[in-house]
Amino acid sequence: MKKNQKAVLGELLAELKAVLMQEGESALTDNEDWTFYTNEEEQLDLHTVGLIADPVDVDEEEWEEILPDIAVENNLLNPISAELIDNVLINALHQSPVISEKMLVKALNYYIENDDFMKL
């Protein structure tokens, strides 16, 4: 995943879904050194624009998250890790091999709100 570039969530999910279907789970999980940052505090949708950047770092003394400067400068303070996105995608495709990006966004929102996978 190219870092420090804007991305539209629906397009990102479509790209990741294609990688998963063509190359398998390891193609996703071996490349989780990025995070999708957004300024959305409400539900995400297909058109949510965010930024792909370095993952959140943690100040081990204060146990505070440290977001990359580029995310902070663009007021994109809500991180969604590649690992979370990948896990939701893998779970959803295991349940339903034919799933739309719209349903993937719904599954992602469900996980963010419930800390659990959505049953499809």
Six token digits for residue 19: 């990688």
Amino acid code (one letter) for 100: S
- DSSP state for residue 3 in the 8-state scheme: S
Can you give the pLDDT at residue 63? 85
Q: What is the pTM of this model?
A: 0.92
Q: Average pLDDT of 99-114?
A: 96
Can you give the pLDDT at residue 10? 97
- Closest C-alpha among 40, 72, 74, 44 to residue 56: 72
Q: What is the pLDDT of residues 9-25, one digit of tens each?
A: 999 999 999 999 999 99
| Cβ-proximal residues to 7 (8 Å cutoff; 6+ apart), any chain | 36, 49, 50, 51, 52
Question: Which H, E and C letters describe 32-75, residue by residue?
Answer: CCCEEEECCCCCCCCCCEEEEECCCEEECCCCEEECCHHHHHCC
Six token digits for residue 107: 């599954």
